[in-house]
Amino acid sequence: MGEILDGLGAAAVLVFTLDPYLVEISLRSLAVTLSAVLVASLIGLPLGAWLAVRDFCGRRAVVIVLNGLMGLPPVVVGLFVYLLLSRSGPLGVLGLLFTPWAMILAQVFILLPLIASIGLQVMGDLWEEYAEMLTSLDATPTQQMGTLLWEGRHGLLTAALAGFGRGIGEVGAIMIVGGNIDHATRVLTTAITLETSRGNFALALGLGLVLIALALTVTAAMHLIARNRGTHP
Amino acid sequence: MRGARRCLPALLLLLAALPAQAGNLRWAVTTTFRNSGLAAVLLPAAQEDLGFGIDLLVVGTGQAAGLARAGDVDAIMIHARPLEEALVAEGVATHRREIMYNDFVLVGPRNDPAGIREADSAAGALGRIAKARAPFVSRGDDSGTHRRELELWQEAGIGTDARPVAWYKAVGAGMGTALNIASGLNAYVLTDRASWLTFRNKGALEILFSGDAALFNQYAFLPVNPARFAHVDAAKTARLEEWLTSERARALIDDHRLNGVALFTFNAR
């Protein structure tokens, strides 16, 4: 119990003094995960829309694979991206290993199947409603996809938020490809791992509480933005 | 999706906060170096004196060697002499330069069920633990500490088969995690003195055996060979080596104390 209260105390001190270390790693956590969500959404949502409007041989298999990869183990993705970006690997010349860019890349791999799958679910349901109308209007596939993406925007926001939720708490992949370098690639989750290994449980828990609060804040902010625009997700 | 467009400038601002790391020296070191607090003393001083940034990657000795072999770092500092000599022989590192030392200690439950306080050597202490079948936590991660532990078991004549999981727990983790597990299990564990002194979750554990010459723990600096990896920054690495062996580094290392106890002794020549 004492350790938990110490954790709450540590979290309060960190937040109310706007501890520079906390601000730095929190901003980096946000930058990495929001970038990954953005990239994964830009690829995954159109992919979901395309799978919703097109029927082709093997579509079912693609959908099953996509759904299955929602549970992609981060540590395996981390290892894969590490081997890709290592100086001895195929993309080694880029020198991206142990930079935030490597962390973003790893998270894109993790979030893409999740965002695409939820997006497909949302737009697949919409397609049942709109298919007849869009076909009768002679809409091109691109127009059909555009309609689904626009009309499904509330559900798609949830897809992006699910991706954000998975990314912001992820540690397995970004530890491997980022290296947890102080002032370069340290984020909230890797800092929590570090403090736990030091036996510094109060600070670790404090950082954990900040991480949870941050995730809630971002989600609430996205919902507020959506509501102020007259759309209720 | 207009909302997303609205958020784009804010996101770009966040991205700008990602540091430009180009030109930083990349240095892999063992967990002790950071967990002892020495990194927090040496790194800012070195960066200030040298005028360039240093990215510290904190990993086990085995992983540091792997990073050097892949050419992913400019230099490493580890503590496992046979491995260091192998890296030089392979041409991965140009040479090894001894920087400082501390010692390993055997930590265990205060009531010492295996009676290692009375042991006359480190190997003898492990022999007593095996005989008593008292819980023992092993790093099991190919780190310098793990390698030393295996050497000691070999010296004690206790093979892998004689160390069943009933009491010998290979946790495959860094020093801090291994200490947390030992603290939770009230088990014996081999650790370097600096990691132990700075560890905050000691529980019922304390140092039970130390002082054997077999527990001497030398740290060495190894520059990665630029002839092998063209992107390695040999000039900066050489300047870091020069700094680490300077009088300034000697003063910082020898004066780094925790509760009045020196954690490392400088011995570069």
Instruction: Please report the pLDDT score of residue B55 as a whole number.
Output: 95
Nearest-neighbour CA in chain A from B140: distance (Å):
16
Which of B4, B15, B229 comes nearest A31 by C-beta?
A: B15
Task: Give the mean pLDDT of B192-210.
Answer: 93
Residue A150 contacts B, CB cutoff 8 Å = yes
Give residue-wise pLDDT tens across range B143-159. 899 999 999 999 999 99
Which superfamily, per CATH, for B103-215? Periplasmic binding protein-like II (3.40.190.10)
Q: Between the CA of residue B201 and those of A171, B40, B105, B195, B260, what are the distances in Å?
A: 23, 21, 17, 11, 20
Give residue-wise pLDDT tens across range B51-98. 999 999 999 899 999 999 999 999 999 999 999 999 999 999 999 999
Enter the tokens of residue A147: 């309609």
Which residues have C-beta within 8 Å of that of residue A69, sequence separation ≥ 6? A113
Which residues have C-beta within 8 Å of that of residue B79, sequence separation ≥ 6? B30, B32, B61, B144, B145, B192, B217, B218, B219, B220
Range of the domain at A151: 27-187
Q: Residue B269, CB half-sphere, CA atoms under 13 Å: how many? A: 1
- The answer to ipTM > 0.85 is no
- Residue numbers in A near B174 (CB within 8 A): 197
Q: Give the Cβ contact number of residue B62 at 10 Å.
A: 18
A225/B6 Cβ within 8 A: yes
> Phi first, then psi: what are they for A90, rounded to 5°?
-60, -35
How far apart are the C-alpha atoms of A25 and A187, rounded to whole Å? 5
pLDDT band at B142 (very low <50, low <70, confident <90, very high): confident
A35/B3 Cβ within 8 A: no
**Spatial CA neighbour of A126 closest among A166, A155, A106:** A155
Enter the tokens of residue B264: 């490392």
Interface A:B, Cβ pairs < 8 A: 97
B57/A181 Cβ within 8 A: yes
Quick check: helix, strand or coil at residue A163? helix
Instruction: Specify if A99 maps to a domain.
Output: yes
Q: Between the CA of residue B26 and those of A186, B137, B168, what are the distances in Å?
A: 15, 32, 36
Amino acid letter for position A60 = R
Give residue-wise pLDDT tens across range A162-213. 999 999 999 999 999 999 988 899 999 999 998 888 888 888 999 999 999 9
Amino acid letter for position B68 = A
Name the residue of chain B whose CA is nearest to A158's CA: B1
Residue A198 contacts B, CB cutoff 8 Å = yes
- Does residue A230 register a pLDDT over 90? no
**Spatial CA neighbour of B32 closest among B68, B56, B58:** B58
Amino acid letter for position B138 = S
B7/A225 Cβ within 8 A: yes
Instruction: Specify if A232 maps to a domain.
Output: no
Same fold, B23-101+216-266 and B103-215: yes
Give the single-character DSSP code of B203: T
Give residue-wise pLDDT tens across range B126-140. 999 999 999 999 999
Instruction: Please report the pLDDT score of residue B102 as a whole number.
Output: 93
- Does residue A1 register a pLDDT over 70? no
Instruction: Please report the pLDDT score of residue A14 as a whole number.
Output: 87
- Does residue B20 register a pLDDT over 60? no
Instruction: Please report the pLDDT score of residue A233 as a whole number.
Output: 47
Test the A interface: residue of B13, B18, B31 with most A CBs within 10 Å? B18
> Phi first, then psi: what are they for B28, rounded to 5°?
-90, 130
Give residue-wise pLDDT tens across range A78-118. 999 999 999 889 999 998 999 999 999 999 999 999 999 99
**Spatial CA neighbour of B14 closest among A111, A37, A63, A115:** A37
Interface of A with B in 97-116 (CB under 8 A): 97-101
Taken as a whole, chain B contains a residue count of: 269
Locate the domains of chain B by residue range: 23-101+216-266, 103-215
Instruction: Please report the pLDDT score of residue A183 as a whole number.
Output: 87
Nearest-neighbour CA in chain B from A58: distance (Å):
30
- Looking up residue A104, the CATH number of its domain turns out to be 1.10.3720.10
CB burial of A101-124 (b: ≥16 within 10 Å; e: otherwise) equals bbbbbbbbbbbbbbbbbbbbbbbb
- Residue numbers in B near A167 (CB within 8 A): none
Test the A interface: residue of B7, B14, B143, B181 with most A CBs within 10 Å? B14
CB B97 within 8 A of CB B268: yes
Q: What is the pTM of this model?
A: 0.85
- Residue numbers in B near A30 (CB within 8 A): 14
A34/B199 Cβ within 8 A: no
B72/A97 Cβ within 8 A: yes
Amino acid letter for position A188 = L
Domain count across chain A: 1
Instruction: Specify if A132 maps to a domain.
Output: yes
Work out the angle between the directed axes of helices B175-185 and A188-197 (0-180°, nearest 10): 50
CATH code of domain B23-101+216-266: 3.40.190.10
Under the phi-then-psi rule, with left for phi > 0, alpha for psi from -120 to 50, and beta for the rest, what region is B98?
A: beta
> Phi first, then psi: what are they for B111, rounded to 5°?
-80, -5
pLDDT band at B2 (very low <50, low <70, confident <90, very high): very low
B179/A199 Cβ within 8 A: yes
